[in-house]
Amino acid sequence: MDGKKEFEKIMSKTERIALASSVNDMPNVRIVNFVYLTNDKVLHFLSDKGDPKEKEFAKNSNVAFITIPSKGLAHVRVHNATVKKSKKSIADVQDEFIKKMPWYKENILEHNGKNMVLYEIHFSKATVLAGPDKFAQIDL
């Protein structure tokens, strides 16, 4: 199995991750929609302005995530990542979100786009599980 190719396939087709953070030894997991920009090696997601996770990320930027398969078991798991507000604007990545999740257009352009914040997650290693006995640790 080519771990990097499988990683890119999973990241391009999967819409959601379970994103875990922790503040004062209290873990918190939430589901967010995302896009992964292969050229930048950065995962992006949107959050409502003022959401409690903004305060969590400000206190502790260390996060972990796992992709949520829509079909089958193939997924990506990352244990050591950091999250921060993106320097890019939502407009910079909105086409990627809409291309991956056409239904997201309403969310970005018509309803909450002005009330949302773009975040990015940086990581350099991932675990890819593509099926029984198809497992790889990759460096990005």
Give the pLDDT confidence score for residue 79 in this predicted structure: 96
| Global confidence as pTM | 0.93
How far does the chain reach from its first CA to its final CA, in angstroms?
Answer: 16
pLDDT in tens, 23-62: 999 999 999 999 999 999 999 999 988 889 999 999 999 9
Give the pLDDT confidence score for residue 88 in this predicted structure: 95
15 or 133, higher pLDDT = 15
Q: Count Cα atoms within 13 angstroms, Cβ side, for 115.
A: 7
Instruction: List phi, psi (to 5°) of 105.
Output: -55, -45
Q: Give one word for 87, left, alpha or beta, with left for phi > 0 and alpha for psi -120 to 50.
A: alpha
Q: Which residue type sits at 95?
A: D
Strand, coil or helix: what is 111? helix
């199995």: which residue's tokens? 1
β-pair type (16-23, 42-48)? unpaired
Q: What is the CATH number of domain 3-131?
A: 2.30.110.10
Cα–Cα distance, 119 to 57 (Å, whole number) = 10
Strand, coil or helix: what is 47? strand
Categorize the per-residue pLDDT at 112 as very low, low, confident or very high, splitting at 50, 70 and 90. Answer: low
**Number of residues in the chain:** 140
Cα–Cα distance, 84 to 120 (Å, whole number) = 6
Give the pLDDT confidence score for residue 133 in this predicted structure: 86
Give the pLDDT confidence score for residue 131 in this predicted structure: 83
pLDDT in tens, 59-110: 999 999 999 998 889 999 999 999 999 999 999 999 999 999 999 888 776 6
Considering only CA atoms, give the Rg of the chain.
15
